[in-house]
Every structure is written in structure tokens, then in C-alpha cells.
Amino acid sequence: MLDWVLGGATPTRPTVFAVNIGLAAPSSTAGNEIATGSGMTRQTVAFSAAGSPANTAGNSVALTLGPISAAGTVVGIQLWDTLAATVGNMLLYGTLTTSRTMAGGDSLVFGVGTLLASLT
């Protein structure tokens, strides 16, 4: 981001943005993504233009993750540059405002504008 803003480089923008969730909080070195064997897979997401003064961008369509095959408490979320599991670059990460306890067969749904990304 700094290179793009300050002219130090011309980075290539990702063509795919995909979201997945995790049972542990993600960090800059580990996404803690739920394993594909759980029934959970990365899902494509699109974002609206960043708003001002909130400096956030929200998902522009509803997003459903799941269903998950086994119970667990979802804590984290990540944004990737590919749909392929276990590869790619984690672009953004965070924790859910409220953890979600899921039973087998549950899905996690984000309504329009409820998945927010910011650079704060």
C-alpha cells in the first residue's frame, strides 16, 4: 500500500478476493483457516468502494460460509487472493466482533455491508 501511494512500485491488484473463517484468531503469520475437510471452503466476495469518513469498505453482496461439518467456535476471518485452499496470500485478517458457536450443519452468513475492511 505504501509503495502504491508513494510511487515506490506499481503492484498488481488481485483478481479474486476470497473469504474463509477460523477457529482461532488469525495473525500476520497464520490465517488459522478452517480445514477444507470440515466442509468449509473459501468463498468469493466483492466489496463496495470505501466510505468516508468511516474509511471502511463493506461486502456488496450477501456471503454464506458453510455448512460446517463439525461443531466449533468461529473466531477469525481472513481475506485471500485465491479460492484455492492452503495457498495464496492472506491480504487482510481480523476477528469477529462476536464469536459464533456453530453446530454441525450450520452456516455463517454475512449480510450486505456487514463484513467490513479498513486500513486503521
Q: Does some domain include residue 29?
A: yes
Q: Does some domain include residue 79?
A: yes
**pLDDT (average), residues 18-36:** 90
Q: What is the pLDDT of residue 53?
A: 64
Within 10 A of 7 (CB to CB), how many other CB atoms are there? 8
Say how many domains are in the chain: 1
What percentage of the chain's residues is helix, strand, coil (to nearest 5)? Answer: 5, 40, 55
pLDDT in tens, 32-89: 988 777 878 899 999 999 886 678 999 999 999 989 888 889 999 999 999 998 899 9
Q: What is the pLDDT of residue 51?
A: 81
Kindly report whether the global pTM for this prediction surpasses the value 0.85: yes
pLDDT in tens, 77-104: 999 999 998 899 999 999 999 999 999 9
The C-alpha cell at 50 is 470505501
Residue range(s) defining the domain that contains residue 37: 16-118
